[in-house]
Amino acid sequence: MGAQLRVYKRRIKSVTATKKITKAMEMIAASRIVKAQRQVAASTPYASELTRAVTAVATGSNTKHALTTEVENPVRAAVLLVTSDRGLAGGYSSNAIKAADQLTTRLKAEGKEVVTYIVGRKGVAYYSFRERPVVQSWTGFTDSPTYADAKKVAGPLIEAVQQDTAEGGVDELHIVFTEFVSMMTQTPVDKRLLPLSLETTVEESEAVKDKILPLYDFEPSDEGVLDALLPRYVESRIYNALLQAAASEHAARRRAMKSATDNAEELIKSFTRLANAARQADITQEISEIVGGASALADATAGSDN
């Protein structure tokens, strides 16, 4: 029984060390969520207003711009998948990858060829292990992205949209990322960035149909304004998606580490109970041996007296 007690003590020591690590990671993730939430809150109004401006240009002009005009028979679509660089975040990356797979299946069912771009080592590793083709990938900044990172990601995607499909270009641009809803809820979503969807504009116009709408005058031309605005639009939407994904990653990691810490505490309690039971069994056995030895000694003494 002494050997069993030593085994329990070693396990308690090991789990306690693991608990300290998971607790520290939980606290680090919790501290980073606040900064990530502030960045999301700061970038969302800019991205929304820029989207509204681009939409206004698209609806207020008669120019058929390549980045706002629906292709009659689209043949190729680009999908940007945003995952994490590090693990220990529960199902954060796997859920985003699953959403990307569902989007890819849907696009292929529509007869479109899908080309994939990936942000994050987890997504790169997943596609590499399964030998799936990836046009380009970026790593090293998923937990704290900057606008420069968003521009770096957006550049090749904008070039692909501007190119003809015969030269390797794409007709559509989609992004899959994890949207930060709350500390407890993060939802993988897929959104089409280009061509710009004007459905929301129609809905808004119905809501404000009794109001006076502004008139727009484009200089030097509406096409020139679109050429200038749309790259900024793509960069801002990707930047906002990267920030939401970062906040979601920290929240998912905090939740996963809290769960691991709670499980470690339960294991420590369980092993402590088992160790106490083993110690009590040792004590009981020692007492039984002492009592048995005393009885044997008493019997031997009584026999010698007779």
Q: Do 214 and 77 belong together in one domain?
A: yes
Give the pLDDT of residue 199. 52
Q: Which domain holds residue 169?
A: 23-257
10, pLDDT greater than 70? yes
Peptide bond into 188 cis (omega under 30): no
How much is the pTM? Answer: 0.81
- CATH code, domain carrying 128: 3.40.1380.10
Q: Do 38 and 182 belong together in one domain?
A: yes
> How far does CA 84 lie from the centroid of its chain?
6
52, pLDDT greater than 60? yes
Higher-confidence residue: 211 or 235? 235
Q: Do 93 and 242 belong together in one domain?
A: yes
Q: Residues 145-162: pLDDT tens digits? A: 999 999 999 999 999 988
Average pLDDT, stretch 90-103? 95
Q: Do 191 and 45 belong together in one domain?
A: yes
Average pLDDT, stretch 97-110? 95
Q: Residues 175-231: pLDDT tens digits? A: 999 999 888 889 999 999 888 765 544 444 454 455 555 566 777 777 777 778 888
Sheet of strand 113-119: strand arrangement: 136-138, 113-119, 76-82, 172-180, 186-194
Out of 162-171, 223-232, 267-276, which region has the weakest mean confidence (pLDDT)?
A: 223-232
Q: Do 15 and 72 belong together in one domain?
A: no
Higher-confidence residue: 215 or 237? 237
Give the SS3 label for residue 246: helix
> Where does the pLDDT of residue 280 fall: very low under 50, low under 70, confident under 90, or very high at 90 and above?
confident
> How far does CA 202 lie from the centroid of its chain?
32
Give the pLDDT of residue 201. 43
> Where does the pLDDT of residue 275 fall: very low under 50, low under 70, confident under 90, or very high at 90 and above?
confident
Interhelix angle 2-60/222-305, nearest 10 degrees: 170
83, pLDDT greater than 80? yes
Q: Do 8 and 71 belong together in one domain?
A: no
Give the pLDDT of residue 198. 59
Q: Do 197 and 273 belong together in one domain?
A: no
Give the pLDDT of residue 206. 52
Higher-confidence residue: 65 or 91? 91
Q: Do 8 and 109 belong together in one domain?
A: no
Is the residue at 266 inside a domain?
yes
Share of the chain above pLDDT 70, in %: 87
Interhelix angle 2-60/199-207, nearest 10 degrees: 70
Is the residue at 297 inside a domain?
no
Q: Do 83 and 181 belong together in one domain?
A: yes
Q: Do 53 and 72 belong together in one domain?
A: yes
Q: Do 173 and 267 belong together in one domain?
A: no
Structure-token match 């009885």, residue found: 295
Q: Do 95 and 181 belong together in one domain?
A: yes
CA 54-190-161 angle, to 5 degrees, is 50
Evaluate the CA torsion angle 38, 182, 193, 68 in order and state its sign.
negative
Is the residue at 189 inside a domain?
yes
Domain count for the chain: 2
Average pLDDT, stretch 121-143? 95
Q: In this structure, how many other beta carbons lie within 10 angstroms of the beta carbon of residue 183?
A: 14
41, pLDDT greater than 80? yes
What is the 3 state secondary structure string of 108-149?
HHCCCEEEEEEECHHHHHHHHHCCCCCCEEECCCCCCCCHHH
Give the pLDDT of residue 161. 87
Average pLDDT, stretch 81-86? 95
Give the pLDDT of residue 35. 87
